[in-house]
C-alpha cells in the first residue's frame, strides 16, 4: 500500500511496509505540474500489466514495481484493485502510477484539488 501526500509543489508517494521490497522503491516525488489527474477505477487495473522490469507480479496477490506496456513505464503497487488509484503523469519517468491507498476517493480528491489550485 502507499500513502499519498502533497508537500509544497510535489506529489509524494510513500511505499509502505514490505511493498518497498516488492516494488524496489520506497518513495516517489513528482512535481504537481507533471500530474495530469487521478482516478479511482478498479476496472482500470484489470488485465495485462506489461513486462515487469524490475518488479513483482503474483496474480491475485501483488503487482509491484516497474512495468513496461505499449512503450510506456508504469509504476505499480497494488494488492487489492478495489483500492487502486491511477495517477496520470506527463514528462516523467513513469507515464502512470497505479497504487493502492486506504481511501481511493479521498486520495483522488486530494490530487485533483492540489492540481487545480496551482
Share of the chain above pLDDT 90, in %: 73
Q: Is the pLDDT of residue 112 over 60?
A: yes
Q: Which domain holds residue 46?
A: 2-117
Residue 25, SS3 per DSSP: coil
Strand partners, 78: 63
Whole-structure pTM value: 0.92
Taking CA atoms, 109 is separated from 69, 91, 115, in Å, by 27, 22, 10
In terms of DSSP bridges, do strands 2-7 and 10-15 run parallel, antiparallel, or are they unpaired? Answer: antiparallel
Interatomic CA distance for residues 97 and 83, integer angstroms: 13
Burial (CB count <10 Å: 0-12, 13-18, 19+), residue 12:
middle
Q: Is the pLDDT of residue 42 over 90?
A: no
Taking CA atoms, 81 is separated from 30, 47, 116, in Å, by 23, 11, 26
pLDDT in tens, 80-105: 999 999 999 999 999 999 999 999 99
Taking CA atoms, 96 is separated from 44, 65, in Å, by 12, 12
In the chain, the number of structural domains is 1
pLDDT in tens, 48-85: 677 678 888 888 898 999 999 889 999 999 999 999 99
Amino acid at each position: 500500500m502507499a500513502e499519498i501526500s502533497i508537500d509544497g509543489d510535489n506529489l509524494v508517494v510513500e511505499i509502505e511496509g514490505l511493498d518497498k521490497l516488492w516494488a524496489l522503491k520506497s518513495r516517489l516525488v513528482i512535481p504537481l505540474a507533471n500530474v495530469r489527474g487521478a482516478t479511482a477505477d478498479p476496472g482500470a487495473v484489470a488485465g495485462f500489466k506489461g513486462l515487469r522490469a524490475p518488479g513483482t507480479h503474483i496474480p491475485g496477490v501483488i503487482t509491484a514495481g516497474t512495468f513496461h506496456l505499449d512503450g510506456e513505464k508504469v509504476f505499480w503497487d497494488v494488492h487489492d484493485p478495489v483500492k487502486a488509484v491511477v495517477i496520470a503523469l506527463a514528462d516523467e519517468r513513469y507515464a502512470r502510477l497505479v497504487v493502492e491507498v486506504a481511501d481511493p476517493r479521498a486520495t483522488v480528491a486530494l490530487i485533483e484539488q492540489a492540481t487545480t489550485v496551482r
